[in-house]
Protein backbone atom coordinates (compact mmCIF):
# COMPACT_ATOMS: atom_id res chain seq x y z
CA UNK A 1 0.00 0.00 0.00
CA UNK A 2 1.03 3.61 -0.48
CA UNK A 3 0.60 6.66 1.75
CA UNK A 4 0.40 10.08 0.13
CA UNK A 5 1.17 13.09 2.34
CA UNK A 6 0.73 16.70 1.24
CA UNK A 7 1.31 20.09 2.82
CA UNK A 8 -0.85 23.14 3.22
CA UNK A 9 -0.84 25.57 0.31
CA UNK A 10 -2.94 28.59 -0.61
CA UNK A 11 -5.46 26.31 -2.37
CA UNK A 12 -5.46 23.16 -0.25
CA UNK A 13 -5.57 21.90 3.33
CA UNK A 14 -2.89 19.42 4.42
CA UNK A 15 -3.71 15.75 4.45
CA UNK A 16 -2.87 12.06 4.10
CA UNK A 17 -4.38 9.44 1.80
CA UNK A 18 -3.84 5.74 2.50
CA UNK A 19 -4.24 3.74 -0.72
CA UNK A 20 -4.77 0.00 -0.29
CA UNK A 21 -4.38 -1.66 -3.66
CA UNK A 22 -1.99 -0.38 -6.33
CA UNK A 23 -3.47 -2.09 -9.37
CA UNK A 24 -5.29 -0.36 -12.21
CA UNK A 25 -7.70 1.75 -10.13
CA UNK A 26 -5.38 2.36 -7.19
CA UNK A 27 -2.53 3.52 -9.39
CA UNK A 28 -4.69 5.88 -11.47
CA UNK A 29 -6.06 7.36 -8.23
CA UNK A 30 -2.52 7.95 -6.97
CA UNK A 31 -1.48 9.56 -10.26
CA UNK A 32 -4.55 11.83 -10.22
CA UNK A 33 -3.88 12.90 -6.63
CA UNK A 34 -0.28 13.73 -7.49
CA UNK A 35 -1.49 15.90 -10.37
CA UNK A 36 -4.15 17.70 -8.31
CA UNK A 37 -2.18 18.29 -5.11
CA UNK A 38 0.98 20.26 -4.46
CA UNK A 39 4.00 19.05 -2.48
CA UNK A 40 2.97 15.37 -2.38
CA UNK A 41 5.27 12.82 -0.74
CA UNK A 42 4.84 9.07 -1.22
CA UNK A 43 5.54 6.44 1.45
CA UNK A 44 5.63 2.84 0.25
CA UNK A 45 4.39 0.71 3.15
CA UNK A 46 4.25 -3.05 3.57
CA UNK A 47 0.76 -4.59 3.79
CA UNK A 48 0.41 -8.32 3.16
CA UNK A 49 -2.95 -9.71 4.23
CA UNK A 50 -1.70 -13.29 3.85
CA UNK A 51 0.41 -12.85 6.99
CA UNK A 52 0.19 -11.24 10.41
CA UNK A 53 -0.29 -7.53 9.75
CA UNK A 54 -0.07 -6.26 13.33
CA UNK A 55 3.49 -4.97 12.96
CA UNK A 56 2.72 -3.47 9.56
CA UNK A 57 -0.38 -1.79 11.00
CA UNK A 58 1.63 -0.15 13.78
CA UNK A 59 4.11 1.25 11.29
CA UNK A 60 1.34 2.59 9.04
CA UNK A 61 -0.50 4.13 12.00
CA UNK A 62 2.62 5.87 13.27
CA UNK A 63 3.46 7.29 9.84
CA UNK A 64 -0.07 8.66 9.40
CA UNK A 65 -0.17 10.18 12.89
CA UNK A 66 3.21 11.84 12.38
CA UNK A 67 1.77 13.51 9.28
CA UNK A 68 -1.58 14.48 10.85
CA UNK A 69 -0.58 15.63 14.33
CA UNK A 70 1.06 18.97 13.39
CA UNK A 71 -2.13 20.16 11.64
CA UNK A 72 -5.50 20.90 13.22
CA UNK A 73 -7.34 20.75 9.89
CA UNK A 74 -5.55 17.87 8.14
CA UNK A 75 -7.71 15.48 6.10
CA UNK A 76 -7.31 11.69 6.39
CA UNK A 77 -8.65 9.71 3.43
CA UNK A 78 -8.55 5.94 2.91
CA UNK A 79 -8.93 4.43 -0.56
CA UNK A 80 -9.74 0.72 -0.77
CA UNK A 81 -8.96 -0.53 -4.29
CA UNK A 82 -7.47 -3.84 -3.24
CA UNK A 83 -8.51 -7.44 -3.69
CA UNK A 84 -7.57 -10.22 -6.07
CA UNK A 85 -11.11 -11.44 -6.71
CA UNK A 86 -12.79 -11.81 -10.08
CA UNK A 87 -15.89 -13.35 -11.60
CA UNK A 88 -14.59 -16.85 -10.94
CA UNK A 89 -13.71 -16.36 -7.26
CA UNK A 90 -15.37 -18.83 -4.90
CA UNK A 91 -17.08 -17.99 -1.56
CA UNK A 92 -13.92 -18.78 0.43
CA UNK A 93 -11.90 -16.33 -1.66
CA UNK A 94 -14.50 -13.61 -1.17
CA UNK A 95 -14.54 -14.24 2.58
CA UNK A 96 -10.76 -13.82 2.67
CA UNK A 97 -11.08 -10.51 0.85
CA UNK A 98 -13.79 -9.33 3.25
CA UNK A 99 -11.56 -10.19 6.22
CA UNK A 100 -8.74 -8.12 4.68
CA UNK A 101 -11.11 -5.19 4.21
CA UNK A 102 -12.25 -5.47 7.84
CA UNK A 103 -8.61 -5.39 8.99
CA UNK A 104 -8.06 -2.17 7.07
CA UNK A 105 -11.29 -0.66 8.43
CA UNK A 106 -10.25 -1.47 11.99
CA UNK A 107 -6.85 0.12 11.40
CA UNK A 108 -8.15 3.39 9.93
CA UNK A 109 -10.86 3.65 12.61
CA UNK A 110 -8.15 3.57 15.28
CA UNK A 111 -6.01 6.10 13.42
CA UNK A 112 -8.92 8.49 12.91
CA UNK A 113 -10.59 7.98 16.29
CA UNK A 114 -9.63 11.46 17.51
CA UNK A 115 -10.50 13.23 14.26
CA UNK A 116 -13.93 14.75 13.63
CA UNK A 117 -15.96 13.02 10.88
CA UNK A 118 -15.55 15.92 8.47
CA UNK A 119 -11.78 15.37 8.46
CA UNK A 120 -11.82 11.71 7.40
CA UNK A 121 -13.38 9.66 4.66
CA UNK A 122 -13.32 6.10 3.35
CA UNK A 123 -13.58 5.42 -0.39
CA UNK A 124 -14.50 1.85 -1.25
CA UNK A 125 -14.24 0.43 -4.77
CA UNK A 126 -16.88 -2.20 -5.46
CA UNK A 127 -17.97 -3.70 -8.83
CA UNK A 128 -21.01 -2.81 -10.91
CA UNK A 129 -20.26 -5.77 -13.17
CA UNK A 130 -20.44 -8.18 -10.26
CA UNK A 131 -23.55 -6.63 -8.73
CA UNK A 132 -25.57 -6.23 -11.95
CA UNK A 133 -24.32 -9.11 -14.09
CA UNK A 134 -26.92 -10.01 -16.70
CA UNK A 135 -28.95 -6.83 -16.13
CA UNK A 136 -29.35 -4.21 -18.87
CA UNK A 137 -30.35 -0.54 -18.95
CA UNK A 138 -29.67 -0.31 -15.21
CA UNK A 139 -30.72 2.98 -13.68
CA UNK A 140 -30.03 4.75 -10.42
CA UNK A 141 -32.68 2.71 -8.59
CA UNK A 142 -31.96 -0.70 -10.10
CA UNK A 143 -31.51 -3.31 -7.38
CA UNK A 144 -28.35 -5.46 -7.51
CA UNK A 145 -29.05 -9.15 -8.08
CA UNK A 146 -25.65 -10.90 -7.98
CA UNK A 147 -25.37 -14.19 -9.86
CA UNK A 148 -22.03 -15.35 -8.46
CA UNK A 149 -20.14 -15.45 -5.16
CA UNK A 150 -18.08 -12.56 -6.54
CA UNK A 151 -21.08 -10.23 -6.72
CA UNK A 152 -22.47 -11.45 -3.40
CA UNK A 153 -19.08 -10.82 -1.79
CA UNK A 154 -18.89 -7.28 -3.19
CA UNK A 155 -22.37 -6.58 -1.87
CA UNK A 156 -21.29 -7.83 1.57
CA UNK A 157 -18.26 -5.54 1.47
CA UNK A 158 -20.46 -2.57 0.64
CA UNK A 159 -22.76 -3.36 3.58
CA UNK A 160 -19.77 -3.59 5.90
CA UNK A 161 -18.55 -0.14 4.87
CA UNK A 162 -22.03 1.38 4.82
CA UNK A 163 -22.73 0.27 8.41
CA UNK A 164 -19.42 1.51 9.85
CA UNK A 165 -20.13 5.05 11.05
CA UNK A 166 -16.72 5.22 12.71
CA UNK A 167 -15.09 5.50 9.27
CA UNK A 168 -16.48 9.01 8.86
CA UNK A 169 -17.81 9.93 5.44
CA UNK A 170 -18.09 6.87 3.19
CA UNK A 171 -18.10 6.80 -0.60
CA UNK A 172 -19.01 3.47 -2.22
CA UNK A 173 -18.01 3.43 -5.89
CA UNK A 174 -19.41 0.93 -8.38
CA UNK A 175 -17.25 1.00 -11.53
CA UNK A 176 -18.42 -1.04 -14.52
CA UNK A 177 -15.99 -2.92 -16.81
CA UNK A 178 -12.71 -1.09 -16.22
CA UNK A 179 -9.97 -0.92 -18.84
CA UNK A 180 -6.63 0.80 -19.21
CA UNK A 181 -3.03 -0.05 -18.46
CA UNK A 182 -0.54 0.54 -15.66
CA UNK A 183 2.66 -1.49 -15.18
CA UNK A 184 2.23 -4.53 -12.97
CA UNK A 185 -1.57 -4.42 -12.85
CA UNK A 186 -3.75 -7.38 -13.77
CA UNK A 187 -4.21 -7.59 -17.53
CA UNK A 188 -7.78 -7.18 -18.73
CA UNK A 189 -9.39 -7.77 -22.11
CA UNK A 190 -8.24 -4.50 -23.67
CA UNK A 191 -4.60 -4.89 -22.63
CA UNK A 192 -4.53 -8.49 -23.85
CA UNK A 193 -5.97 -7.47 -27.23
CA UNK A 194 -3.43 -4.67 -27.63
CA UNK A 195 -0.44 -6.79 -26.60
CA UNK A 196 -1.38 -9.77 -28.79
CA UNK A 197 -2.01 -7.50 -31.78
CA UNK A 198 1.41 -5.90 -31.39
CA UNK A 199 3.09 -9.29 -31.03
CA UNK A 200 1.12 -11.04 -33.76
CA UNK A 201 -0.24 -13.61 -31.32
CA UNK A 202 -3.76 -14.95 -30.80
CA UNK A 203 -6.09 -13.56 -28.15
CA UNK A 204 -8.66 -15.84 -26.53
CA UNK A 205 -12.06 -14.23 -25.93
CA UNK A 206 -14.02 -15.55 -22.93
CA UNK A 207 -17.34 -14.16 -24.15
CA UNK A 208 -19.56 -13.80 -27.19
CA UNK A 209 -18.74 -11.28 -29.91
CA UNK A 210 -22.10 -9.59 -29.42
CA UNK A 211 -21.85 -9.38 -25.61
CA UNK A 212 -22.67 -5.83 -24.55
CA UNK A 213 -20.68 -4.22 -21.75
CA UNK A 214 -20.28 -0.72 -20.40
CA UNK A 215 -16.55 -0.06 -20.51
CA UNK A 216 -15.03 2.71 -18.40
CA UNK A 217 -11.50 4.08 -18.70
CA UNK A 218 -9.53 3.64 -15.45
CA UNK A 219 -8.21 7.21 -15.49
CA UNK A 220 -11.80 8.49 -15.22
CA UNK A 221 -12.18 6.59 -11.95
CA UNK A 222 -8.85 7.85 -10.69
CA UNK A 223 -9.89 11.45 -11.36
CA UNK A 224 -13.22 10.92 -9.61
CA UNK A 225 -11.49 9.52 -6.51
CA UNK A 226 -8.99 12.36 -6.49
CA UNK A 227 -11.81 14.92 -6.64
CA UNK A 228 -13.54 13.24 -3.67
CA UNK A 229 -10.36 13.54 -1.60
CA UNK A 230 -9.50 17.08 -2.68
CA UNK A 231 -13.03 18.38 -2.14
CA UNK A 232 -13.58 16.60 1.15
CA UNK A 233 -12.72 19.51 3.43
CA UNK A 234 -15.07 21.89 1.62
CA UNK A 235 -18.04 19.52 1.72
CA UNK A 236 -20.38 20.56 4.56
CA UNK A 237 -21.79 17.02 5.00
CA UNK A 238 -19.83 15.59 7.93
CA UNK A 239 -21.00 12.00 8.20
CA UNK A 240 -22.88 10.40 5.32
CA UNK A 241 -22.77 7.51 2.87
CA UNK A 242 -22.93 7.86 -0.90
CA UNK A 243 -23.16 5.10 -3.52
CA UNK A 244 -22.04 6.06 -7.01
CA UNK A 245 -22.11 4.23 -10.33
CA UNK A 246 -19.11 4.95 -12.56
CA UNK A 247 -19.76 3.83 -16.12
CA UNK A 248 -19.82 5.29 -19.62
CA UNK A 249 -23.56 5.01 -20.24
CA UNK A 250 -22.67 3.87 -23.74
CA UNK A 251 -22.49 0.05 -24.13
CA UNK A 252 -20.24 -1.58 -26.71
CA UNK A 253 -20.07 -5.11 -28.09
CA UNK A 254 -16.81 -7.04 -27.99
CA UNK A 255 -16.60 -7.03 -31.79
CA UNK A 256 -16.61 -3.19 -31.70
CA UNK A 257 -13.78 -3.19 -29.17
CA UNK A 258 -11.78 -5.54 -31.41
CA UNK A 259 -12.29 -3.31 -34.45
CA UNK A 260 -11.22 -0.19 -32.55
CA UNK A 261 -8.09 -1.92 -31.23
CA UNK A 262 -7.18 -3.04 -34.75
CA UNK A 263 -7.63 0.49 -36.05
CA UNK A 264 -5.50 2.00 -33.28
CA UNK A 265 -2.70 -0.56 -33.54
CA UNK A 266 -2.76 -0.75 -37.34
CA UNK A 267 -2.25 -4.50 -37.34
CA UNK A 268 -4.47 -7.56 -37.76
CA UNK A 269 -5.88 -9.11 -34.61
CA UNK A 270 -6.14 -12.89 -34.34
CA UNK A 271 -9.02 -14.07 -32.17
CA UNK A 272 -10.00 -17.44 -30.71
CA UNK A 273 -13.55 -17.53 -29.36
CA UNK A 274 -14.40 -19.77 -26.42
CA UNK A 275 -17.29 -21.99 -27.68
CA UNK A 276 -18.75 -22.23 -24.17
CA UNK A 277 -18.12 -18.84 -22.55
CA UNK A 278 -18.91 -18.45 -18.87
CA UNK A 279 -18.89 -14.67 -18.95
CA UNK A 280 -21.08 -13.71 -21.89
CA UNK A 281 -24.05 -11.98 -20.23
CA UNK A 282 -24.92 -8.42 -21.19
CA UNK A 283 -24.37 -5.66 -18.64
CA UNK A 284 -25.36 -2.07 -19.48
CA UNK A 285 -26.20 1.15 -17.65
CA UNK A 286 -28.16 4.30 -18.39
CA UNK A 287 -26.29 7.58 -18.65
CA UNK A 288 -28.87 9.12 -16.31
CA UNK A 289 -27.54 6.86 -13.54
CA UNK A 290 -24.12 8.54 -13.62
CA UNK A 291 -23.04 11.49 -11.46
CA UNK A 292 -24.10 14.77 -13.04
CA UNK A 293 -20.56 16.13 -13.39
CA UNK A 294 -18.94 12.83 -14.44
CA UNK A 295 -17.61 12.96 -18.01
CA UNK A 296 -16.31 9.55 -19.12
CA UNK A 297 -13.67 9.22 -21.82
CA UNK A 298 -14.98 7.99 -25.18
CA UNK A 299 -14.20 4.41 -26.14
CA UNK A 300 -12.02 5.28 -29.14
CA UNK A 301 -9.96 7.80 -27.16
CA UNK A 302 -9.61 5.45 -24.18
CA UNK A 303 -8.41 2.57 -26.35
CA UNK A 304 -5.94 4.85 -28.14
CA UNK A 305 -4.54 5.95 -24.77
CA UNK A 306 -4.32 2.31 -23.66
CA UNK A 307 -2.42 1.39 -26.84
CA UNK A 308 0.01 4.23 -26.20
CA UNK A 309 0.57 3.18 -22.57
CA UNK A 310 1.24 -0.45 -23.51
CA UNK A 311 3.69 0.60 -26.23
CA UNK A 312 5.58 2.98 -23.97
CA UNK A 313 5.96 0.53 -21.12
CA UNK A 314 6.32 -2.85 -22.79
CA UNK A 315 7.69 -2.08 -26.22
CA UNK A 316 9.76 1.05 -25.64
CA UNK A 317 7.37 3.04 -27.78
CA UNK A 318 7.86 0.90 -30.88
CA UNK A 319 5.24 -1.15 -32.70
CA UNK A 320 7.10 -4.45 -32.88
The tens digit of pLDDT for each residue in 232-266 reads: 766 656 568 999 999 999 999 999 999 999 999 99
Please, where are the H alpha helices in the chain? Answer: 24-36, 54-68, 91-111, 128-131, 149-162, 189-199, 218-230, 254-265, 299-314
Residue 286's pLDDT is: 96
Lowest mean pLDDT segment, chosen from 9-23, 155-169, 268-282: 268-282
Lowest mean pLDDT segment, chosen from 65-74, 189-198, 278-287, 309-318: 309-318
Whole-number percent of the chain with pLDDT over 90: 62
Q: Contact 217/179 with Cβ under 8 angstroms? A: yes
Tell whether the model's pLDDT for residue 2 goes beyond 70.
Answer: yes
User: What is the arithmetic mean of pLDDT over 139-143?
Assistant: 94
DSSP 3-state of 140: coil
Q: What are the domain boundaries of the chain?
A: 2-314
Q: Residue 75's closest CA among 186, 250, 234?
A: 234
Q: Contact 192/272 with Cβ under 8 angstroms? A: no
Q: Contact 100/48 with Cβ under 8 angstroms? A: no
pLDDT band at 8 (very low <50, low <70, confident <90, very high): confident
What rounded mean pLDDT belongs to the chain? 90
Residue 256's pLDDT is: 95
User: What is the arithmetic mean of pLDDT over 71-86?
Assistant: 90
User: What is the arithmetic mean of pLDDT over 24-31?
Assistant: 96
Tell whether the model's pLDDT for residue 215 goes beyond 90.
Answer: yes
Give the CATH number of domain 2-314.
3.40.50.720
Residue 236's pLDDT is: 56
Residue that wins the pLDDT comparison between 289 and 272: 289
Q: Residue 300's closest CA among 253, 254, 263?
A: 263
Residue 233's pLDDT is: 62
Tell whether the model's pLDDT for residue 85 goes beyond 50.
Answer: yes
Residue 152's pLDDT is: 97
Residue 279's pLDDT is: 77
Tell whether the model's pLDDT for residue 320 goes beyond 50.
Answer: no
Whole-number percent of the chain with pLDDT over 70: 94
User: What is the arithmetic mean of pLDDT over 67-93?
Assistant: 90
- How far is the C-alpha of 63 from the C-alpha of 47, rounded, in Å? 14
Instruction: Give the pLDDT confidence of 180-193 residue by residue, as tens digits.
Output: 998 877 888 899 99
With b for 16 or more beta-carbon neighbours within 10 A and e for fewer, the 171-205 pattern comes to: bbbbbbbbbbbbeebeebbbbebbbbbbeeeebeb
Instruction: Give the pLDDT confidence of 28-69 residue by residue, as tens digits.
Output: 999 999 999 988 999 998 887 766 677 888 889 999 998 888
- How far is the C-alpha of 314 from the C-alpha of 213, rounded, in Å? 27
pTM over 0.85: yes
Amino acid sequence: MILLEWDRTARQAPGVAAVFGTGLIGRTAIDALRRNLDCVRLHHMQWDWSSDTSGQARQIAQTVRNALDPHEDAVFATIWAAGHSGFGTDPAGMQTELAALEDVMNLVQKIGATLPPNRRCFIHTSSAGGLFEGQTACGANTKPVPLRPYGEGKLAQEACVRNSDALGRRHILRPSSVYGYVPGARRGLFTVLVATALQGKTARIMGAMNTLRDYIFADDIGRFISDLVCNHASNPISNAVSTTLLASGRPAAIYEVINVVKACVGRPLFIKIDPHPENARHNTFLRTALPRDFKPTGLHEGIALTVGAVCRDRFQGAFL
